[in-house]
A and B are shown apart, each in its own frame.
Chain A
Amino acid sequence: MAATPFVLQLLNALAALLLLLSFAMLAQRRVVTLVNLFAMQGALLCAATLLLAWRTGEGNLYVSAALTFAVKVVALPRLLHRLIRRLGVYWDTEPLLNIPGTMLIGVLIVVFSFGLAQPISALASTATRSAVGIAVAVILLAFLTMITRRKAMSQVVGFLSMENGLFFGAMSATYGMPMIVELGVALDVLVAMLVLGVFFFQIREQFDSLDLEKLEERGGER
């Protein structure tokens, strides 16, 4: 352990915190706090990218750190907060599974994704390759967040958090995706958010609620 330089230690610590935040999002019932946690995840991601950029000297990474900050720490949370205020959804209803149960499933998911990422990190040549497992875990945990929630709002935050995981995975496996892909993804997420925002209003108008169970009930004659 003595051999790992301080910057790498810091990166590892950030990765661990990212995983912790994913769990916090999994357990969080309040939508406002969920969005705040998402913003914190973005900030951590930005810090990790900056550190990695400084360590590897890759100019690209500085740009993507700036992009992360602009989109995931500033723009998206503000957009989400405004949506929450206008839609008046502050609480998610009880999730489909109770919280301790979800946590235990989350732990299993982390074990599974560490196993899944083992071959990838064995192939990667970057200094941060051990964090690939954490990135996969963040993706799958965000997926679990989406599965266990009823409200469209929290599902969208889960979706966005999934993108965070993807970004982190790309960063730790190959020092980031090509610039053009990254720009595209950032734009995609923003546009998706805008479209989903419009969707929220439509859903609410049609079903008087953002609870997606209602949508299923109307879905087809059973």
Chain B
Amino acid sequence: MKPVDWFTQVLEVAAALAAAPLFQGWVNQCRAWLQNRRAPPLLQTYRGLRKLFHKDAVIALHASPLFRAAPYVVFSAMLAAAAIIPSMGTRLPFSAAADAIALVGLFATARVFLSLAAMDIGTPFGTLGARREMMVGFLAEPALLMVVFVTALISATTSLPVMSERMATQSLALSPSLAFTAVAFTMVLLAENGRIPIDNPATHLELTMIHEAMLLEYSARHLALMEWSAALKLFNYACIGFALFIPWGPAMGGAGPFALSAAIPALALKLAAAGGALALIETLSAKLRVFRAPEFLATAFLFAVLGLLVHLLLGA
């Protein structure tokens, strides 16, 4: 491992930490524009976080230590995930620790802790949100794993950075299997991050919310950490999508600092485009009833499986 690799690693995690709220703010802004509303400033998410960090935390009387620990666990899981995903360079010292399947496991860990913490206080809304979250999670996870399997099959490895490298270097071809998988991944992204067909991030209407319902009992720095990790999760998912389906841009292999400096604007450009696309999807679609969520996620799973089958049969 050369020093530049370590530098890439540190830079990547720092960039994820710093840019995740910005990305979320950008998505919110695009959404507001598309819906003819006045957009909140781009830095609004940072201001919200700062405000929350300055407040005094209030914790319910019956909260167990798990309730206090959960924000830190969730946040560090997201941070560890950010360290594995090759958003700027593919030669990451940390990526040897975990492959793409372990990455899915990291997300699952965060989800379990989030749900447990939501049920910890015993308020009905927390429990309701946790149950819904687990339902969405258990349906989304097979689809996400299937996406990972298809791309692993195509690139003959499960290590995310190597996958990304092989995807970038293979010759350009029309690939229906990759296209199907990309659709499946997008649907999983929407479901996992509580975006509109499954959950509405802007609502506090009790009967429909999922993610917000789980955070109702949190305040101050705990809430800030939870919101920050939600932003990180969205950022991470976007970066996984880039690594698998739009792999051009990050510094490949042992490229020097110059390639790294080119990777930053490439990432910014991709994030800007992805944020716009996400906002467009969310504006065009209506929120599904909770009981329709299994259909949505079954479709995602179906797309991923079709990708796998088409790859096996047509070799494309």
A15 vs B295: C-alpha distance when bound (angstroms) = 24
B295 touches A100 (CB 8 A): yes
Count CB-based A-B contacts (< 8 Å): 70
A1 vs B177: C-alpha distance when bound (angstroms) = 13
User: Is chain B's binding surface mostly helix, strand, loop or mixed?
Assistant: helix
A103 vs B142: C-alpha distance when bound (angstroms) = 15
Least CB distance, B180 to chain A, in whole angstroms: 7
Q: Does B276 contact A (CB under 8 A)?
A: no
A12 vs B170: C-alpha distance when bound (angstroms) = 18
User: Which one of A12, A19, A134 has the greatest number of beta carbons of chain B within 10 Å?
Assistant: A12
Q: Does B78 contact A (CB under 8 A)?
A: no
Interface readout for B284-309 with A: 1 if CB under 8 Å, 0 if not? Answer: 00000000001100110110011001
Chain A: CB-nearest residue to B302: A103
A110 touches B309 (CB 8 A): yes
Q: Does B174 contact A (CB under 8 A)?
A: yes
Contact of B177 among A16, A100, A130 (CB under 8 A): A16
Contacts of B294 in A (CB 8 A): 100
B171 touches A13 (CB 8 A): no
Contacts of B180 in A (CB 8 A): 16, 20
Contacts of B170 in A (CB 8 A): 1
A114 touches B316 (CB 8 A): no
Pick from A2-10, A42-50, A58-66, A74-82 the stretch touching chain B. Answer: A2-10
Chain A: CB-nearest residue to B303: A20
Q: Does A99 contact B (CB under 8 A)?
A: yes
Contacts of A110 in B (CB 8 A): 306, 309
If A4-B316, A16-B310, A131-B314 touch, whether A9 touches B173 (CB-CB below 8 Å) is yes
If A16-B176, A114-B309 touch, whether A1 touches B302 (CB-CB below 8 Å) is no
Q: Does A124 contact B (CB under 8 A)?
A: no
B313 touches A134 (CB 8 A): yes
A209 vs B304: C-alpha distance when bound (angstroms) = 39
Q: Does B124 contact A (CB under 8 A)?
A: no
A23 vs B304: C-alpha distance when bound (angstroms) = 13
Least CB distance, A65 to chain B, in whole angstroms: 21
A204 vs B186: C-alpha distance when bound (angstroms) = 44
A21 vs B306: C-alpha distance when bound (angstroms) = 12
Contacts of A9 in B (CB 8 A): 173-174, 316
Q: Does A111 contact B (CB under 8 A)?
A: yes
Chain A: CB-nearest residue to B307: A16
Contact of A12 among B301, B312, B316 (CB under 8 A): B316
A4 vs B179: C-alpha distance when bound (angstroms) = 18
**A15-B176, A134-B310 known; 19 other A-B pairs, CB under 8 Å?**
A4-B173, A9-B174, A12-B176, A12-B314, A13-B179, A13-B316, A16-B314, A19-B306, A23-B302, A99-B298, A100-B298, A103-B301, A106-B302, A107-B306, A114-B312, A114-B313, A130-B313, A131-B314, A134-B314
Chain A residues proximal to chain B, CB less than 8 Å? 1-2, 4, 6, 9-10, 12-13, 15-17, 19-20, 23, 27, 99-100, 103-104, 106-107, 110-111, 114, 130-131, 133-134
Interchain Cβ contacts under 8 Å between A and B, 6 examples: A6-B174, A9-B173, A16-B179, A17-B176, A114-B309, A134-B314
